[in-house]
Structure 1
């Protein structure tokens, strides 16, 4: 076999391949065998039809087509290896010559992973939020815990902010009660904003048995988006009572004996949360600066596929679960389709660039993924997917996605290397040391996944 490679642009090549006919022998034999199992000819046992009879009855062309289809992947792979290119996706193959008994010639155009030069990234500097926990933050955290232990008691007075009312609702559009416009015994906390616009004003001031009518735009159901005349009747009014903030509350709501211990724990948890947010912020901003340093040629077909994948995942997975279509989503977002496509293209380009650059860094820094790192990543991915580790591992193995998981961890390690080399300061001008972050690789992997999305740049040979 002879092959040559022609560079069409920095991200696409054309392979020209010539194969002597004798190298098709194994594929021709396999073609005759396959056709033998599929057809019957009177006078011959199944599977024992001579090649000359198959040629006469079904045509030599059918045999050649079957043989070439069988052989092409093998010869294409040999040409790719000989040219030392890294193809992305499937090639566009064109058979340019097929002479029975003499020659098979074809061309294959395919996108390739571009060659990148990674400059010195140690000069990257970013600023992140300082880790500051105020007394107000602690009070808010404790108050949220206090809200969870609130009790209610029925009162004989007009409803007011914060009360829990039990209500009956009836919605009419154009004077007709909607089929799904009646609901009885609904529990609602005044001021929560969880039901209809205008309901707070309608029920405030009403006692049990009181009734009011107001107009509101429906947020769901058969008349979604339409203005409805809503009648609300209050059946009970209950006041929420919060427990006293004292040591007794701390013992009831936590494992601590005193309120001071509970507040100290709240401070520690808030600090940990803010440190995690700070690390994530540092990784995201360092990644943005790294992307600015490297010029990345963009494979057009790969970009088109990535845009289509992201659009498909949004329409058929995320929006499908929400029960809305793309048009409704764009309306809610206040975007035109052109703005949405431009935004999707920008995100896709950033995701592809991120993969290319970090994969190049993995090779440059000779980063390996250990079994322990892969296992930890698998456990985290399983938790986020709502599956058990065993179920997730089985699904990954069956889907052939182990290399994808390895790639995610490796890119996380590559980003962590860049973050460690960069200078990270907080808004107070203090240098932030992220080297003690035990989950640095995992948080970096998550930061990368947020950019690259679900699609994976695949290499096919």
Structure 2
């Protein structure tokens, strides 16, 4: 076998590989003889057909198999011999020759992994968000827990924001009913933006049993194409208005949160401890994201198109699986691969840069880091000791945590090289409860 490497544009390479025709012929003949021993051909007993007849029936398929295996094997040997780091899958093409006895030649076109160089972190700033949980945040969290346990009680007053209303409505456009424009016993929370603004505004101030006609202008970009940009009249009848009743912060409320004896002070302590864990994780995630951005900044890389394409494929599959999990047929919502391109490029870039940073600096997950992560996660469960044992009982589960610990090590390493700028962050922004 002979292999010649050609450098094409950017990361693209081509191997021109020659394999002696005699070597291929020997393999084809050997397989034909094996097949001939059991071949079932009309007019002959099994295994008794002449070799030339067997070749007529099976020769083409066997030759294709041998050539395919030869291409894979020869390419693998050439790559290993020349120490080429192939990125993605190669494209194989046979080279035609007028001489039937000439060596079998083919080309393999592929991309190679780029050379990755981590630049100097000096002068790079990384923002590190800081936040301390206080009584105000505990109160706010308790209010959220109360709202999750809201009860609704029928009222005789006019409907207002935060009320739950139950309505019948019939919609028409130019006097004609339209699909999806009517419903009975429809319940929703007023003032939460669940319905179009004009629709909700028409219901405000209505009482149980009252009927009103409301004009609604559908936006031009409304998801229902049949009504987008059109004006409809809705006849709305309010069947029930219910006001929200929040539970009092008392022993019963504490018990509903799993606090034995209903000790409110203990409940606040547990809420604060859980909130502090959540805040730590969110602060850690924000800092990690900023560290990764800094790494991308000092490690510009020419990305192999093949790796980006493979990553796009994985992202598309993930999105389709997510739809299936929600009971939605992915064929009803096809994804254009281009929408994942930026995310795929970032993932490939980070993967290459992180691998180089870890190898160049001999970064490893330390046992104490792994233990600390497992113990932190275990605090979210009723029996932390069992959870810790569960992780250590399985090498795959432990490997996942080791990967997390290695990421933490990378973050710590980079933070030790850059200029860290601490910045206080708003609680709602941190917890994603804006608006």
TM-score bracket for the superposition, by shorter chain length = 0.7 to 0.9
Matched, 1:351 2:351: no
Are the counterparts in 1 of residues 32 and 58 from structure 2 also a CA contact under 8 Å?
no
Once the two structures are TM-superposed, the CA of residue 46 in structure 1 deviates from its matched residue by 4.0
The partner residue of 2:270 within 265, 280, 293 is 265
CA RMSD between the two structures: 4.2
- 2:389 maps to which residue? none
Check the 8 A contact 2:152/2:244 in 1, yes or no.
yes
Aligned length: 389
Matched-pair contact (CA < 8 Å) for 1:122–1:422: no
Q: Paired residue for 1:14?
A: 14
Alignment of 1:53-452 (within 5 A): 53-55=53-55, 57=56, 64-96=63-95, 100=100, 103-119=103-119, 125-216=125-216, 217=218, 223=226, 225=228, 226-255=230-259, 257-304=262-309, 306-307=311-312, 310=315, 316=320, 341=338, 344-365=340-361, 412=404, 414-423=406-415, 424-427=420-423
> Hey, what does 1:383 align to over in structure 2?
none
Q: Residues 259 and 266 of structure 2 are in contact (CA less than 8 Å); yes or no, is this contact kept in structure 1?
A: no
The structure-2 alpha-carbon separation of the partners of 1:10 and 1:220, relative to structure 1 and needing over 3 Å to count, comes to: closer
1:29–1:48 CA distance, 2 compared to 1 (3 A):
farther
Q: In 2 relative to 1, CA 259–6 (structure 1 residues): closer, same or farther, beyond 3 Å?
A: same
CA contact (8 A) 1:212 1:233 kept: yes
Distance in 2 (alpha carbons) for counterparts of 1:207 and 1:132: 46
**Matches of 1:62 and 1:317 in 2, distance apart?**
37
TM-score of the superposed pair, with normalisation by structure 1: 0.70
Cα 1:66/1:141, change in 2 over 3 Å: closer
Gaps of 5+ in 2: 378-395, 426-435
1:158 deviation in Å?
A: 2.1
Change beyond 3 A, Cα 1:61–1:311: closer
Which stretch shows the higher mean deviation, 130-139 or 33-42? 33-42
Q: Which runs of 5 or more structure 1 residues have no equivalent in the other structure?
A: 331-336, 381-401, 430-461
* Deviation (angstroms), 1:281: 0.9
Q: What do residues 46-99 of structure 1 show as CA deviations (whole Å, max 9, x unaligned)?
A: 4443333345x4697665444312322111111111121121222122222566
Find the aligned partners of 2:212 and 2:346 in 1 and give their Cα distance: 53
Q: Deviations over 1:148-172 (max 9, x none)?
A: 3333332222222332222112222
Q: Deviations over 1:395-447 (max 9, x none)?
A: xxxxxxx9xx97x8786555433211133452159xxxxxxxxxxxxxxxxxx
The structure-2 alpha-carbon separation of the partners of 1:325 and 1:70, relative to structure 1 and needing over 3 Å to count, comes to: closer
Offset from partner CA, 1:289-329 (integer Å, 9 cap, x none): 11111231222344355456656765x55678697999999
Residue 231 of structure 1, CA deviation: 1.9
Pair 1:30 & 2:22 matched: no
TM-score normalised to the size of structure 2? Answer: 0.73
Is the 2:364–2:406 Cα contact (8 Å) retained in structure 1?
no
